[in-house]
């Protein structure tokens, strides 16, 4: 599956996970929205949760936003593709460790790949990050359960189980 990232460049370049993915030839960064290809677009404001059913719509392309949380809604609004939100997961990156839903770009992409049935690709994306394996360990059960769902409504039901425990 091809990985593409719309990159606004408003984060610290030394901590930017999307830029590191580009350096390792794991993602293509786009600095103009019109250059981003059509695919499944990870959008934290989307109305539908990502599920294995989206695999058919992915067109072998997964797209993420790399921008500040403040501008994510506006940036996602103008992005083409099938917009999907990730379900409940916990960050493992040093800045947001243990915080739900506050994932880095690489964590979001790896989670999406896992849910879409590409766990080996997810592991490969996370290899350059010392906390990458920790992300998969922290979220092993929910990722396994989300990947076993049929569709978005089942993913939301699984997510509701986790949120009820929080």
pLDDT digits (tens, 9 = 90+) for 40-96: 999 888 999 999 999 876 568 999 988 755 555 555 556 788 999 999 999 999 989
DSSP 29: E
Q: What is the pLDDT of residue 68?
A: 58
Q: Tell me the per-residue pLDDT of 81-117, one tens digit each, with 9 for 90 and over.
A: 899 999 999 999 998 999 998 899 999 999 999 999 9
Residue with tokens 């350096």: 23
Element (H, E) at 133: helix 132-138
So what's the pLDDT on residue 9?
Answer: 74
Instruction: State both tokens at 4.
Output: 């593409």
Q: Considering only 1-5, 64-68, 134-138, which range has the smallest mean pLDDT?
A: 64-68
* 97 within 8 A of 86, measured Cβ to Cβ: no
Question: Residue 131 above 90 pLDDT?
Answer: yes
pLDDT value for 139: 97
d(CA 10, CA 37): 21
Q: Which residues contact 139 (CB under 8 A, 6 or more apart)?
A: 89, 90, 92, 111
* Dmax (CA) of the chain: 41
Average pLDDT of the chain to the nearest whole number: 89
Query: Which pLDDT score, from 0 to 100, does residue 54 have?
Result: 93
Q: What is the pLDDT of residue 14?
A: 76
What average pLDDT does range 6-13 have in this prediction? 77
- How high is the pLDDT of residue 147? 97
pLDDT of the residue at 162: 85
> Which ranges constitute the DSSP H helices of 14-148?
17-23, 69-77, 105-115, 119-126, 132-138, 140-147
Question: In which region does residue 145 sit, left (phi positive, over 0), alpha (psi from -120 to 50) or beta (all else)?
Answer: alpha
């Amino acid at each position: 599956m091809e990985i593409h990232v719309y990159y606004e460049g408003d984060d610290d370049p030394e901590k930017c996970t999307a830029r590191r993915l580009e350096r390792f030839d794991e993602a293509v960064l786009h600095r103009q929205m019109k250059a981003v290809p059509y695919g499944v677009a990870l959008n934290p404001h989307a109305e539908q949760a990502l599920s294995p059913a989206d695999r058919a719509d992915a067109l072998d392309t997964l797209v993420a936003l790399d921008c500040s949380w403040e501008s994510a809604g506006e940036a996602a609004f103008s992005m083409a593709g099938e917009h999907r939100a990730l379900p409940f997961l916990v960050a493992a990156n040093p800045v947001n460790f243990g915080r739900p839903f506050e994932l880095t770009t690489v964590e979001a992409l790896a989670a999406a790949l896992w849910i879409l049935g590409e766990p080996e690709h997810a592991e490969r994306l996370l290899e350059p990050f010392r906390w990458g394996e920790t992300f998969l360990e922290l979220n092993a059960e929910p990722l396994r359960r989300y990947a076993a769902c049929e569709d978005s409504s089942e993913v939301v039901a699984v997510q509701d189980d986790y949120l009820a425990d929080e």
